[in-house]
Chains A and B, each alone.
Chain A
Amino acid sequence: MTRAFMKGNHALAEAAIRAGMTFFGGYPITPQSEILEYLSGNLPKAGGTFVQAESELAGVNMVYGAAAAGHRAMTSSSGPGFSLLQEGISYIASAELPAVFVDVQRYGSGLGDIFQAQSDYYVATRGGGHGDYRMIAYAPASVQETVDLVGLAFDKAEEYRNPCLLLSDASIAQMMEPVVFPEKQECNPDHDWAVRGKRGGDFKKITSTMYYIENFDQYIHDKYATIQANEQRWENVQVEDAEVVLVAFGISARICKEAVSMARAEGIRLGLIRPVSIWPFPEKAFDEVSKDLRAYLTVELSALPRLRDDVMLATEMKTPVHHFLAGDTIPSSRTIVKQAVALLEK
C-alpha cells in the first residue's frame, strides 16, 4: 500500500501500472493527456512499453496486438478520440480479448470543448462500434475510486475476455485527492489463448469469434447475460424511505450525495442511486427503493438526457423519471435539492 496526494489522471496511470499493465499506446487529447505524460516516463521504468501513436486508430490497434499477445494493455482518450477508438474496440470485443479503455469525457459533440461533461454515456454503454458486443463500463466518482476501478477493470477484462471501460470526466481527472494504491501485480502473459508463436504446438488464430464458435448467437447472448447478472455495481444512499431518488454517476453523483445530506437536514426525504457500473446497468439497485417513492430525478452533465433512458428501462416507468441537465456546469447541491423539492410540490 502506498499513500499519495495525486491528480486523477496521474493516479489512474499509476493504478494501471500497478494493475500489471505492460503496454500503453495512445494519442494526446485534453483532458486526458496527463495519462500519457505520466506513463511515458513511469511505464518504461516499471518494465512496460509506452508508445505515442500517430492517431487513436493506431493506438487502439497496437493495444489489440499487445492484448492478443496476452499482455495487459490500455489506451485512453476523450470525446473525439474516443470516437476513433470504436473500430478497435469492436475488433477486440469480437476477438474476445481483454483490454482497458479510458474515456475522460469532455463537453459537446464534434470538437466540443474541454470542460467536464457526461455526454458520452450512450457510446460508453451501447458501444460505438459495429456489431453485437458490449463493454463493461465503470464510472468513478473520486480519485480513489478511479484507482480501485482501474485494477478491477483489468481483472474483469481478463475474466470475461472482453474490453472494459473507465468512463471518467474532466473534473475527476483534474482534481487532486489523497489516494491509497495497491501493491504492483505481476501478470503472466502466456495465456493459453495468446499468440506467442506455435513453439511446437498448434497455431492460433485471433479473429472474430463468430468464425469459430458454434452456435455463436447463443454463445454471445449467454456471455453478456452472465455479465449483466453478475457484474452490477452501485452505491445507494438513503433510498429505503426516500420520496425522491436522485440517480447520477461520476462527478455529478458526488454533488448529489451532498444534496441528500443537505435535504435530510431539512427533513426532505431525498435518496441517491449511484451506478458504479454503467454497463451492466445496476437494475438491482432499484429494488431497494421505498414504496413511498414519488419520482426519480437524474442529474446529468450533458445537453440531452442519456442516463434518464436507462432509469426508465430499469424501472419500467412505474414511477415518473425526471431529468436535470447541467450541461458543462457543475450544479450546486442546493440547486439539486431545489429541483427535488419542486417535484414534491407538483
Chain B
Amino acid sequence: MAEKRIPKTLVENNKFCPGCGHGIINRVLAEVLEEMGLADMAIGSVAVGCACLMIDTFGTDWVQAPHGRAAAVASGIKRVRPENFVFTYQGDGDSLAIGFSETMYAAVRNENITVFIVNNGIFGMTGGQMAPTSLPGQRTTTSPAGKDPALAGQPLNIVNQMRQLPIGYLARGSVGSFKEIIRLKKYIKAAVTNQIEGNGYGLVEILSPCPTNWKMTMQGALDHMNDNVKKFFPTGEFIKEGVLTDA
C-alpha cells in the first residue's frame, strides 16, 4: 500500500474549503521548510483572511498581524531575530488593498523577509467581495454587475510593481496543474534560499482558486484560473539573485 507522507509541520487537517488552493500551498511550503531544515526556525506573520486559519494547523511560530500589516510585523521580527526564517503568508486583499503600503515598503527597504501572496482574485473570508486583483467583469458581492475597470481599476499586478525595486527574488506560481505545483515548489525553495543567503526581500505570488466565492465547481474554478486568470497574471521567475530575468 502506498504510504501517505504528510509533512510534520502540518499539525492538524487544514480548515479550508474543498478545492481551495491554500491547502496545496500550505503543503508545498511545509515540505520546503522541512527539506531545508527550517521548520524549527521559522516565524510566520499572518493577518486575517482565510490564511489566518493556518495559525492552528501549520506548526510554526506565528504572530497574527492586523489586516494588511504582516510585512511590517515580519520586518520587526526579522530585524531583532535575524537568525530566524521570517515569512508572511497573505491573501491578495490583505497584501494589496489595505496593506499595499506595508507590502511595497518592505520591498523598498529590501527587508530580508519572504512574502507569500495567495492571489484568488477575491476577498474570501469576508464572503466574496471585490479585490484589487478581481478581473474585469468579475461578479462579486460588491460588483454584482461585474467589476467595471473604469470605476474600480484594472487588476493590480504586484509583480509589475515589484520589478522596479531592488529586491532579491520575485516569482509568480500557480496551483493550476500538477506540473505547475512542482514549479511552484521550486519558486518557494528559491525564495526561502534567497532569505537564508541574506539577499533581501523575496516574494512569491501564487494563483489559487476559491471555488466557494467564485461560485464554481472545483474543476470549473481550476479551468477558470488556467484559462482566464493566467492571462492577466502570467507565471514565472522575474527577479533572481537581485537581477531581472527576461521572463
Q: Which residues of A contact B (CB under 8 A)?
A: 22-23, 25, 49, 51, 53-55, 57-59, 61-71, 73, 87-88, 91, 95, 189, 195-200, 203-208
Q: List 28 A-B contacts (CB under 8 A).
A: A22-B80, A51-B109, A54-B102, A57-B102, A61-B69, A61-B76, A62-B72, A62-B79, A64-B63, A64-B72, A65-B45, A65-B63, A65-B75, A65-B76, A65-B78, A65-B80, A87-B69, A88-B66, A88-B69, A195-B43, A197-B40, A197-B41, A197-B42, A197-B81, A203-B11, A203-B62, A204-B61, A205-B61
- Interface centre among B45, B61, B101, by most chain A C-beta atoms within 10 angstroms, is B61
CA distance A71 to B85 in the complex (A): 17
Q: Are B102 and A203 in contact (CB under 8 A)?
A: no
Which residues of B are found within 8 Å of A195, using beta-carbon distances?
43, 61-63, 77, 81
Q: Which residue of A lies closest to B67 (CB)?
A: A87
CA distance A201 to B181 in the complex (A): 31
- Given A196-B61, A203-B60, are A69 and B77 also a contact pair (CB < 8 Å)? yes
Q: Which residue of B lies closest to A88 (CB)?
A: B66
Q: Which residue of A lies closest to B55 (CB)?
A: A205
Interface set, chain B 182-219, CB cutoff 8 A to A: none
Is B110 part of the contact surface with A, judged by Cβ < 8 Å? no
Q: Are A65 and B61 in contact (CB under 8 A)?
A: no
Q: Which residue of B lies closest to A195 (CB)?
A: B61
Is B49 part of the contact surface with A, judged by Cβ < 8 Å? no
Q: Which residue of B lies closest to A67 (CB)?
A: B76
Is B64 part of the contact surface with A, judged by Cβ < 8 Å? yes
Contact with A along B33-60 (1 / 0, CB 8 A): 0000001111101000000000110011
CA distance A57 to B74 in the complex (A): 14
Q: Are B41 and A58 in contact (CB under 8 A)?
A: no
- Given A65-B45, A66-B80, A73-B76, are A198 and B69 also a contact pair (CB < 8 Å)? no
Q: Are A49 and B79 in contact (CB under 8 A)?
A: yes
Q: Are A205 and B79 in contact (CB under 8 A)?
A: no
Q: Which residue of B lies closest to A63 (CB)?
A: B76
CA distance A68 to B105 in the complex (A): 21
Pick the residue among B65, B80, B101 that contacts A49 (CB under 8 A).
Answer: B80
Which residues of B are found within 8 Å of A95, using beta-carbon distances?
63-64
CA distance A197 to B102 in the complex (A): 23
Q: Are A203 and B61 in contact (CB under 8 A)?
A: yes
Which residues of A are found within 8 Å of B45, using beta-carbon distances?
65
Taking the closest CB of chain A, its distance from the CB of B114, in whole angstroms, is: 14
Q: Are B80 and A69 in contact (CB under 8 A)?
A: yes
Is B226 part of the contact surface with A, judged by Cβ < 8 Å? no
14 other A-B residue contacts (CB within 8 Å) besides A64-B72, A203-B11, A205-B61? A25-B76, A58-B105, A62-B73, A64-B69, A65-B65, A65-B72, A65-B73, A88-B69, A196-B81, A197-B41, A197-B84, A198-B40, A198-B41, A199-B40
Which residues of B are found within 8 Å of A59, using beta-carbon distances?
72
Q: Which residue of B lies closest to A92 (CB)?
A: B66
Q: Which residue of A lies closest to B111 (CB)?
A: A51
- Given A58-B105, A196-B84, A199-B40, are A207 and B79 also a contact pair (CB < 8 Å)? no
Q: Are B41 and A64 in contact (CB under 8 A)?
A: no
Interface set, chain B 1-55, CB cutoff 8 A to A: 11, 39-43, 45, 55
Which residues of B are found within 8 Å of A57, using beta-carbon distances?
69, 72, 101-102
Which residues of A are found within 8 Å of B79, using beta-carbon distances?
23, 49, 51, 62, 65-66
Q: Which residues of B contact A (CB under 8 A)?
A: 11, 39-43, 45, 55-56, 59-66, 69, 72-81, 84-85, 101-102, 105, 108-109
Q: Are B40 and A65 in contact (CB under 8 A)?
A: no
Q: Are A62 and B76 in contact (CB under 8 A)?
A: yes
Which residues of A are found within 8 Å of B77, using beta-carbon distances?
65-66, 68-69, 195
Q: Which residue of B lies closest to A23 (CB)?
A: B80
Which 10 A-B residue pairs are closest in the complex by CB-CB distance?
A65-B76, A62-B76, A61-B72, A207-B64, A65-B73, A61-B69, A197-B41, A65-B77, A66-B76, A195-B61
Q: Are B80 and A206 in contact (CB under 8 A)?
A: no
- Given A195-B43, A197-B41, A199-B40, are A208 and B72 also a contact pair (CB < 8 Å)? no
- Given A66-B80, A197-B84, are A205 and B72 also a contact pair (CB < 8 Å)? no
CA distance A51 to B65 in the complex (A): 18
Q: Which residue of B lies closest to A22 (CB)?
A: B80
Taking the closest CB of chain B, its distance from the CB of A49, in whole angstroms, is: 5
CA distance A22 to B34 in the complex (A): 31
Pick the residue among A68, A189, A198 that contacts B63 (CB under 8 A).
Answer: A68
Which residues of A are found within 8 Å of B64, using beta-carbon distances?
95, 205-208
Q: Which residue of B lies closest to A208 (CB)?
A: B64
Q: Are B105 and A64 in contact (CB under 8 A)?
A: no
CA distance A338 to B204 in the complex (A): 68
Q: Which residue of A lies closest to B62 (CB)?
A: A205
CA distance A206 to B46 in the complex (A): 10
Q: Which residue of B lies closest to A97 (CB)?
A: B63
Taking the closest CB of chain A, its distance from the CB of B225, in whole angstroms, is: 31
CA distance A205 to B59 in the complex (A): 9
